[in-house]
Amino acid sequence: MDNYPSWAAQVIWYEIFPERFCRKNYENPISSLDILGTTPWNFSKDSAWEIHPWTSDWYRRQPYEKENSKSLKINILRRRYCGDLKGIISKLDYLSELGVNALYFTPMQYSPSLHRYDGTNFLHIDPFLGNNALEDLKIISQEDFLDFDNAAWTSADLLALEMIKKAHSLGMKVVFDGVFNHIGYNSKPFQDVMKNAQKSEFADWFLIDWEKSTKKNLVYQKFWGFVKEMPKLNYGCKKVKEYVFSTLKRWLKPIVSGTEFEGIDGWRIDHAIGVPLTFWKSANAFVKTLNPDALFLGELIEPLEVIKPYLDEKCFDSVMNYGFYFSLLQFFVAQNNSISALQFDKLLRSQLKLLNLSSNFLAMNLLGTHDTERFASYIVNRDLKKYSSFAEFFENSHIEDKKYNSRCPNDFERKIQKMAVVFEFSMVGSPMIYYGDELGMWGANDPDCRKPMIWPELSFEDEQILVGGRRTKKYDKIEVNQNIFDFYKRIINFRKSNIEVLSWGKFSTLYADKEKRVYIYERTLKKERIIFGFNRELEPCSIEISLGVKTVLKNVLNGTKLDTDNFGHVRLTLEPVSFTILSQCE
């Protein structure tokens, strides 16, 4: 693993969506004016607005929302719950006790949106995540935008450095989200082009069709071709490249008034396919000169054959593993459109074979993110759609589909969730937890996967109203699912206790049924062996496997022991919708 950040193969990731994680600054001066210039566009600064109550029923419009006569979804996109850095810092001890040791933050750069993927200034943390927003805004507005390497350090920037230092002191790595395919509509470069057109000093920062543009209608390339607030950046422009490199450096090697502070441990790059491969190759090389152990992770959701060159050419160390995610869904979750264990095994092996060895070890395996429905809700709606690609998945997992069921998952569905979590924590690559999954949170795709974190010290309203104002027949209590939380803590501890074999060990299939969803495999390293068995069928099964040598196995779940025969054969019995974990006794 020379020349690669090997630490990333041995961590348990936790994704934090800052706006919805934890709020501690109750004097945030944000106003309706500060959230203009992004979706939804059909509001004015005078439209009724206030910081949304953290513990309110997600689907119930508040009085201020009823005043504007807009739909519930439009209002949800306009909401701000105002999670902040102070809140994140206050919960670092919780995350440490949970057992995670690597934090991936969705964007924290200055932006008018709730998700901050339309950042207006890459160099600065959003002032509204800090404790002195008005002063920070003044500093940012007065500095020279093009003097990248001499940008001031605002109070929010410094608070982010404080957060990084505390996370490091607790043994946790920190990775920021780099959104460099585009910049925000409200950014100084784009607003200057809107005002001055081709005379702007930023005119070549964007991909603009000047022949079709008019004074009132600038024709420019956008993220996904239509997202107005995200004008694409032009990587044929030298200044754009300098801007991105300065951003990478600022947070990897922060220097404040001549003193070097602890920086982040890597970058997760959003929509990497949108920027030329050659740029990412140079960017990763640049990052490694700043910190040879820094992680450069790409969000690449395309087919594996498209992803492969980005890894082979060392543009990225590895990827957010959406291929793993979609394969897992077809085996563990889908009911009518499921695949057999043998088909699942072939999918996994094709992925492992296509990517290089280090990329497999460093992959961020996931069960959901800010761009997907909550995993528990996918299980509830397992027969609604068949998903085989990100685009199809994203467009067909929203609450607007009247067939979509947004209820709390039941005990049977939680059993499926636990099986999938065990699989995630047992496989090649590092597992990632999306904030709140460990507490049992559920919800449809964006925006419903971005509900406020359900901290146990808070008392939440029941969910009683669905989109469109329909009332549920059964109210769902919003509270911590202690059983799920305890399960996550146990599986986290299990992986950390067996970190070498589960990080670096060989993956070998012991049994993959060609028709049913019965799957058994092992992870081995030197004298260590751990066997994982899954039965996703609705009836019990009994399977004989061969280990090639006489040995004794210990059931990790209940402590019982199981002897093989003299030839290493042993029979495993699996109950319906269940898993087992067996370790080889020394």
389, pLDDT greater than 90: no
Whether residue 427 is contained in a domain is answered as yes
Whether residue 191 is contained in a domain is answered as no
**How many structural domains compose the chain?**
2
Q: Note whether 473 and 517 are same-domain residues.
A: no
387, pLDDT greater than 70: no
> pLDDT, tens digit, for every residue of 347-362?
999 999 988 999 999 9
State the average pLDDT over residues 278-296.
98
Domain holding 324, by residue range, is: 6-180+237-487
Q: Note whether 475 and 517 are same-domain residues.
A: no
Per the DSSP assignment, residues forming a β-bridge with 84 are none
- pTM here? 0.97
Q: What is the DSSP string of 5-36?
A: -GGGGS--EEEE-GGGT----TT----GGGG-
Integer Cα distance of 510 and 14 in angstroms = 31
Integer Cα distance of 393 and 62 in angstroms = 30
Q: Note whether 513 and 394 are same-domain residues.
A: no
Whether residue 78 is contained in a domain is answered as yes
- The percentage of the chain sitting over the pLDDT mark of 90, rounded to a whole number, equals 87
Q: Note whether 311 and 370 are same-domain residues.
A: yes
Cα–Cα–Cα angle for 244, 246, 252, nearest 5°?
105
Whether residue 13 is contained in a domain is answered as yes
Residue 402, Cβ neighbours under 10 Å: how many?
Answer: 9
Question: For residue 27, what are its two tokens?
Answer: 């004097």
Whether residue 409 is contained in a domain is answered as yes
SS3 299: coil
SS3 206: strand
Work out the mean pLDDT of the chain and round it to a whole number: 94
468, pLDDT greater than 60: no
CB 173 within 8 A of CB 102: yes
Closest alpha carbon to 302 in 344, 357, 225, 354: 354
> pLDDT, tens digit, for every residue of 325-378?
999 999 999 988 899 999 999 999 999 998 899 999 999 999 999 999 999 999
Integer Cα distance of 396 and 392 in angstroms = 6
> pLDDT, tens digit, for every residue of 561-584?
999 999 999 999 999 999 999 999
Q: Note whether 534 and 464 are same-domain residues.
A: no
396, pLDDT greater than 80: no
Integer Cα distance of 151 and 123 in angstroms = 7
Whether residue 492 is contained in a domain is answered as no
**262: phi then psi, degrees, rounded to nearest 5:** -70, 130
User: Which pLDDT score is estimated for 464?
Assistant: 85
> pLDDT, tens digit, for every residue of 245-281?
999 999 999 999 999 999 999 999 999 999 999 999 9
Q: Note whether 449 and 317 are same-domain residues.
A: yes
Whether residue 522 is contained in a domain is answered as yes
Integer Cα distance of 564 and 568 in angstroms = 5
Question: For residue 97, what are its two tokens?
Answer: 């006790």
Q: How would residue 511 be classed by pLDDT, with cut points 50, 70 and 90?
A: very high
User: Which pLDDT score is estimated for 397?
Assistant: 56
Q: Note whether 302 and 344 are same-domain residues.
A: yes
CATH code for position 538: 2.60.40.1180
Integer Cα distance of 180 and 525 in angstroms = 39
State the average pLDDT over residues 110-132.
97
The segment with the largest mean pLDDT, out of 284-298, 299-313, 393-407, is 284-298
Closest alpha carbon to 398 in 377, 369, 417: 377
User: Which pLDDT score is estimated for 383?
Assistant: 81
User: Which pLDDT score is estimated for 72?
Assistant: 86
Q: Note whether 116 and 51 are same-domain residues.
A: yes
State the average pLDDT over residues 151-177.
98
Q: Note whether 328 and 293 are same-domain residues.
A: yes
Last residue of a domain, one of 428, 459, 487: 487
> pLDDT, tens digit, for every residue of 48-79?
999 999 999 998 899 999 998 888 889 999 99
Q: Note whether 355 and 249 are same-domain residues.
A: yes
Whether residue 190 is contained in a domain is answered as no
Closest alpha carbon to 188 in 177, 200, 178: 200
SS (H, E, C) 225-253: CCEEEEEEECCCCHHHHHHHHHHHHHHHC
CATH code for position 306: 3.20.20.80
- The percentage of the chain sitting over the pLDDT mark of 70, rounded to a whole number, equals 95
Q: Note whether 471 and 514 are same-domain residues.
A: no
Q: Note whether 451 and 545 are same-domain residues.
A: no
Exposure of 310 by Cβ count < 10 A (0-12 exposed, 13-18 middle, 19+ buried)?
buried
Last residue of a domain, one of 459, 487, 515: 487
Q: How would residue 1 be classed by pLDDT, with cut points 50, 70 and 90?
A: very low
User: Which pLDDT score is estimated for 336?
Assistant: 86
User: Which pLDDT score is estimated for 71?
Assistant: 85
Q: How would residue 398 be classed by pLDDT, with cut points 50, 70 and 90?
A: low
